[in-house]
Amino acid sequence: MTYTPRVDRYDRMIYRRCGKSGLKLPAISLGLWHNFGHDTPHATKRAICQTAFDHGITHFDLANNYGPPFGSAETAFGEIMRTDFRHLRDELIISSKAGYDMWAGPYGEWGSRKYLIASCDQSLKRMGLDYVDIFYSHRFDPETPLEETMGALDHIVRSGRALYVGISSYNSQRTREAAAILKDLGTPCLIHQPSYSILNRWVETDGLKDTLSDLGIGSIAFTPLAQGILTNKYLNGIPEGSRATQGKSLDMATINDRVVGALRRLDALAKARGQTLAQMALAWVLRDGGITSALIGASKPEQVEDCAGAINNLEFTADELAKISAISEEKEINLWARSAEL
Ligand SMILES: NC(=O)c1ccc[n+]([C@@H]2O[C@H](COP(=O)([O-])OP(=O)(O)OC[C@H]3O[C@@H](n4cnc5c(N)ncnc54)[C@H](OP(=O)(O)O)[C@@H]3O)[C@@H](O)[C@H]2O)c1
């Protein structure tokens, strides 16, 4: 069936300037890391993307290796572009990345010019696009000169493959170095993509959040729901089919009694604010304007709807913030710490 987007979609979302750039991003963006591989029906993927766009979510985030298998999320999104979004291309911000393991041999991961440019070409082909809006270096490569990685990003823009570039999971110091190189090359760093949530506050302790605001670089926080932990999903056990049962990126052992106790207290706070726990977790990430967009994932369209509702209450009292901080200090979960520590 032909997809016709809701006419009121832009009244249902707020848009925030990405650093000092001319680009605005929706406060909530959708990532296709999970639930867009061969193990999810295509109809579900379509419904998730359509629901997102109907809520004014204009930004879809991908990477070369999202699946499984690697590449299949981009292929699925390419199909959705073809059937549903083709006429909407100029209303969309589509990103992809290269950095993690993608193909065999020494040119299939990390940060060489060889890998980044080849991977970008493969991503464009899979998605059936002439260009992506944002292309990222997915992680810092300690063995490749930063000048080479940033030079490849600059080339990707100059050759018309991307409009903007970004970096992901680089720590504060590496971010300063990368941004300086990109500035010299004349292709400013638009955006940084770090993990950030109530349960994972490394961007504050590392100084990255302050660095980004100092440099005028925008930011998009990934896993703002801690892969679903910061929702009502795990409050009363571990439901069948949830990410924690899939043996992929979320270890079931993470959801122990101590964490569930903390989640129940967060849930009570959210209820008192008139929000679901997911909505409060997203509002918290967006609370002080330091983060441009919260980058969610979803396994069902209803989750996108719930998350989009976060924008209805982004204000926190000092007392609420203190209570949340006290809880977040009890337990830290940072699955991407290693990349940021390099
Ligand atoms: N740059 C990087 O290195 C990097 C790394 C990781 C992710 N990312 C990006 O960040 C995106 C988001 O990551 P993520 O999927 O881990 O984010 P997340 O938003 O923290 O977790 C998404 C999961 O939470 C659950 N969920 C979402 N909304 C819900 C709701 N309203 N109620 C109940 N449960 C809800 C779903 O779990 P169930 O599946 O259990 O239903 C969903 O799959 C990725 O798609 C990717 O684009 C980037």
Pocket test for ligand 1, best of 28, 29, 34 (most atoms within 8 A of CB): 34
Count CB-CB contacts under 10 A for residue 247.
9
Question: Higher model confidence: residue 2 or residue 166?
Answer: 166
Strand 59-61 versus strand 28-31 pairing type: parallel
Å from CA of 158 to ligand 1 middle: 32
The mean per-residue pLDDT over the stretch 288-303 comes to 97
Please report the DSSP string for 290-316 in residue order.
Answer: SSSEEEE--SSHHHHHHHHGGGG----
- Integer Cα distance of 90 and 40 in angstroms: 28
Q: Is the CB of 296 under 6 A from ligand 1?
A: yes
- Report whether pLDDT(337) > 90: no
Task: Please identify, by atom number, the ligand 1 atom nearest to the C-alpha of residue 244.
Answer: 40
What is the pLDDT, as a whole number, of residue 331? 67
Q: Is the CB of 242 under 6 A from ligand 1?
A: yes
The pair of three-digit structure tokens given for residue 178, joined into one six-digit string: 């990368």
- Report whether pLDDT(143) > 70: yes
User: Residues 147-196: pLDDT tens digits?
Assistant: 999 999 999 999 999 999 999 999 999 999 999 999 999 999 999 999 99
* C-beta of residue 60 within 8 angstroms of C-beta of residue 30: yes
- Integer Cα distance of 14 and 6 in angstroms: 16
What is the pLDDT, as a whole number, of residue 1? 77
- Report whether pLDDT(102) > 80: yes
- Integer Cα distance of 257 and 237 in angstroms: 10
User: pTM of whole model > 0.85?
Assistant: yes
List the residue whose alpha carbon is closest to atom 7 of ligand 1: 222
User: Residues 109-123: pLDDT tens digits?
Assistant: 999 999 999 999 999
User: Residues 74-90: pLDDT tens digits?
Assistant: 999 999 999 999 999 99
Confidence of residue 340 (pLDDT cuts 50, 70, 90): confident
Q: Is the CB of 52 under 6 A from ligand 1?
A: no
User: Residues 40-81: pLDDT tens digits?
Assistant: 999 999 999 999 999 999 999 999 999 999 999 999 999 999
Provide the mean pLDDT of the chain: 96
Q: Return all residues near 213 (Cβ < 8 A) that are at least 6 apart.
A: 290
Please report the DSSP string for 191-214 in residue order.
Answer: EEE-B-BTTB-HHHHSSHHHHHHH
- Integer Cα distance of 227 and 217 in angstroms: 25
What is the pLDDT, as a whole number, of residue 335? 67
Confidence of residue 2 (pLDDT cuts 50, 70, 90): confident
The domains found in the chain, sorted by start residue, are: 9-227+285-312 (3.20.20.100)
* C-beta of residue 198 within 8 angstroms of C-beta of residue 174: no
